[in-house]
Structure 1
Amino acid sequence: MPGSEPATRPPRRRNAKLTRSAILQAALEEFSEMGHSGARVDRIAERAGVSKPMIYDYFGDKDGIYAAALREAYVQIREGEAELDLDMRQPEEAVRALVHFTMEHFRIKPWFIRMLNTENLRGGATVREMHDAAEIQSVLVDQLREILKQGIAQGIFRKGVDPVEFYIYIASLCYFPISNLHTLRAVFQAPIDEEWLKRHADGSADMVLAFLKDRSHASDSPENRN
């Protein structure tokens, strides 16, 4: 109507969850590319599309952002593992699925390995102060413990395998070709690409399953009777 005041739009409210997620992803990329000392909060803000003061409001300071990003790296891989529904798979299938997922996660989310490299260069100071670090890992450890238990019950896995040590074997086999991608290509001319990594994951799964195999009846096999 003529003479009436123009309608004013209410200010757009920022989705706090999405904003926090965007900051964490930007921080993962910045810290993984530049390391802890080389990372800059202003670049994280630019990557996330937010103001620098907003980042400080969310996380306090640079160390706070780094700690949150490191935690997020662990959360992301555990969330991806949860989607595998390992509990619904047969033991051998579950192990193969976990190996292939681990390799693929390291490949498509390189900031995970780089963040871990950065934290190890810093002596693990931040992860030791992470109050829920063990809790984040516990879900996978419990799943692996159950998978190993089922394999033993079915007579296909041997007893005495610690689930944490077993996961370290899996992570090691998947970690090395990604973390050393460029040097392996240069020194050994290894044709490391997506197809090569898939074959490596297949072989790694074969190796860890052979490690788990129950050999208590090996002496009864025909080749051992001669």
Structure 2
Amino acid sequence: MTSTRPGSDPAPAKTGADGPKRRRNSDLTRSNILDVATSEFADKGYAGARVDEIAERTHTTKRMIYYYFTDKERLYQAVLERSYSAIRARERELDTEGLSPTDAIRAIASLTFDHHEHNPDFIRLVSTENILRGEHIRKSEALSNLGNPAAELLESILTRGQADGFFRTDVDALDVHMAISSFCVFRLSNRYTFEALFGRDLTDPSHREHLRRMLGDMIIAFLTSTEV
């Protein structure tokens, strides 16, 4: 008899044509659970989300969800891991080697702007996890070094720009990452309060290209300004 452990995927058959099919079905089930769980946690927060609701929306059972993810906390952690991994994967796909340092920085800024715009649940999840003071991210081995590739990419571009005399030398990769992320996150996380106070919808399509270009201009202006 084949044994399994809680939190793991069902083991594929070792022989026969059903093995790959079983694995595909398992992967699809797991992916579907994560899709729905992402929406639930983003919409209702960690405390408000209910595993029973996720089970109902995925046409599965609470027991099956716990089979894959052990408990609610592990499910939430898996949602965070997949959400953060998505933008890191897009950054890895970005080819900046043939770009000038300024164009490379603009490319990263635009990529972040576009990713966040198309993944508003990611912003809500980040906000929730900050309310929880990063409790679940700190427990994740998968996320512990996930920020390194983004920092390394920015560092290599900064190094090139500084060596060529284009960029100031008193900033580092995390300064730039913070500046880009702050703009992109604020645009979505504060859209409702900003509109209520100032009457401008930051996600209005008519403002999109202006804001996208403004982000790149701001970062480049900062990097090319005179050091204090």
TM-score bucket of the superposed structures, by smaller chain: 0.7 to 0.9
* C-alpha separation in 1, matches of 2:175 and 2:67: 39
Alpha carbons of 1:53 and 1:14: their partners in 2 closer, same or farther (altered >3 Å)? Answer: farther
Alpha carbons of 1:47 and 1:210: their partners in 2 closer, same or farther (altered >3 Å)? Answer: same
Q: Which 5+ residue runs of structure 1 have no aligned equivalent? A: 1-9, 217-226
* Structure 2 equivalent of residue 209 of structure 1: 220
Contact 2:123-2:189 at 8 Å conserved across structures = yes
Q: Aligned letter for 2:119?
A: K
Q: Aligned letter for 2:141?
A: H
* Structure 1 equivalent of residue 68 of structure 2: 58
Q: Residue 74 of structure 1: CA displacement?
A: 0.6
* C-alpha separation in 2, matches of 1:78 and 1:47: 28
How is 1:154-169 mapped onto 2 (pairs within 5 angstroms)? 154-169=164-179
How is 1:83-162 mapped onto 2 (pairs within 5 angstroms)? 83-162=93-172
Alpha carbons of 1:214 and 1:28: their partners in 2 closer, same or farther (altered >3 Å)? Answer: same
| 2:208 alignment partner, one of 194, 197, 210 | 197
Identity in percent: 38
Alpha carbons of 1:191 and 1:114: their partners in 2 closer, same or farther (altered >3 Å)? Answer: closer
1:33-92 CA distance string (max 9 Å, x none): 011111111222333343322211111000110111111111011112222223442211
87-96 vs 46-55, which moves further: 46-55
Contact 1:26-1:48 at 8 Å conserved across structures = yes
Contact 2:30-2:68 at 8 Å conserved across structures = yes
Alpha carbons of 1:87 and 1:55: their partners in 2 closer, same or farther (altered >3 Å)? Answer: farther
Which of the two has higher C-alpha Rg? 1
Q: Aligned letter for 1:84?
A: L
Detail structure 1 runs of 4+ shifted over 6 Å in the superposition.
none
Q: Aligned letter for 1:205?
A: G
Contact 1:36-1:66 at 8 Å conserved across structures = yes
Q: Residue 214 of structure 1: CA displacement?
A: 5.8
| 1:181 alignment partner, one of 172, 187, 191 | 191
182-191 vs 164-173, which moves further: 182-191
Q: What CA RMSD, in Å, does the superposition of the two structures yield over aligned residues?
A: 2.1
| 1:13 alignment partner, one of 22, 25, 28 | 22
Alpha carbons of 1:47 and 1:80: their partners in 2 closer, same or farther (altered >3 Å)? Answer: farther
* C-alpha separation in 2, matches of 1:19 and 1:95: 38
Contact 1:36-1:118 at 8 Å conserved across structures = yes
Alpha carbons of 1:144 and 1:134: their partners in 2 closer, same or farther (altered >3 Å)? Answer: farther
- Is 1:82 the counterpart of 2:92 in the alignment? yes
* C-alpha separation in 1, matches of 2:194 and 2:68: 40
Q: Aligned letter for 1:13?
A: R
